Amino acid sequence: MRCPFCGFEETKVVDSRPADGQKRRRRECTSCGKRFTTYESVEVPVLLVTKKDNTAELFNRNKLIAGISTAVKKRPVSAGDINRIVEEIESYYANKMVTQVTSSEIGDRVLAALREIDQVAYVRFASVYKDFDDVDSFIDIISELRSGEKKH
């Protein structure tokens, strides 16, 4: 780490502690003796989402939270549950170092999580995500839930 005061290349860490998901480090220059603070964080790869119309956009955590929130409205699902679903999706792709994913893959992951948490929210999310256009689609997915089968 280069000293911001004298530009010397060698510094030593005198203190290290977590701070808002990062590592805060107090460093001391071994040449001039001045101290400064640095913050270290994990670099997460940029995730592009390919939509149904073949356009791509950056993964938007808030957009996914909003979609799930709509499905769980007035249901016994906490904000923590929603955040956990989104974090699990983000972590899954970051850990695999995936940089591009389809919106349908993300939708399938959300459906799998909602199925375990709240079946009404699952049906609501599926109706928008799978673009239901008739009552039979609702009947099919509810029958699927009742039978315990998992269709895609």
Q: Do the domain assignments include residue 4?
A: no
Q: By mean pLDDT, which of 44-48, 131-135, 147-151 is the weakest?
A: 147-151
Same domain membership, residue 137 and residue 110: yes
**Residue 90 belongs to domain spanning:** 48-147
Tell me, yes or no, whether 89 and 36 share the same domain. no
- List Cβ neighbours of 30 (8 Å cut-off, separation of 6 or more): 8, 10, 11, 12
Worst-scoring range by mean pLDDT, 10-14, 105-109, 140-144? 140-144
Domain-embedded: residue 1: no
How many separate domains does the chain show? Answer: 2
Q: Are residues 55 and 114 in the same domain?
A: yes
Q: What is the pLDDT of residues 115-128, one digit of tens each?
A: 899 888 988 888 88
140 shares its domain with 113: yes
> Per the domain annotation, does 67 fall within a domain?
yes
**Are 56 and 75 members of one domain?**
yes
Tokens of 95: 């850990």
Query: Can you give the pLDDT at residue 145?
Result: 80
| Residue 117 backbone dihedrals phi, psi, to 5 degrees | -90, -50
CB neighbours of residue 71 within 10 Å: 23
What average pLDDT does the chain have? 89
For residue 152, name the pLDDT band (cuts at 50, 70, 90): very low
pLDDT > 90? residue 94? no
Tell me the C-alpha to C-alpha distance, in Å, between residue 17 and each of 30, 33, 35, 70, 143: 21, 21, 16, 38, 52
- The reply to whether 36 and 105 lie within a common domain is no
pTM of the model: 0.64
Residue 53 and residue 30 in one domain: no
Instruction: Please report the pLDDT score of residue 56 as a whole number.
Output: 94
Q: Is residue 152 part of a domain?
A: no
Residue 148 has a pLDDT of 74
For residues 24-31, give the mean pLDDT.
Answer: 96
Residues 93 and 55 in one domain: yes
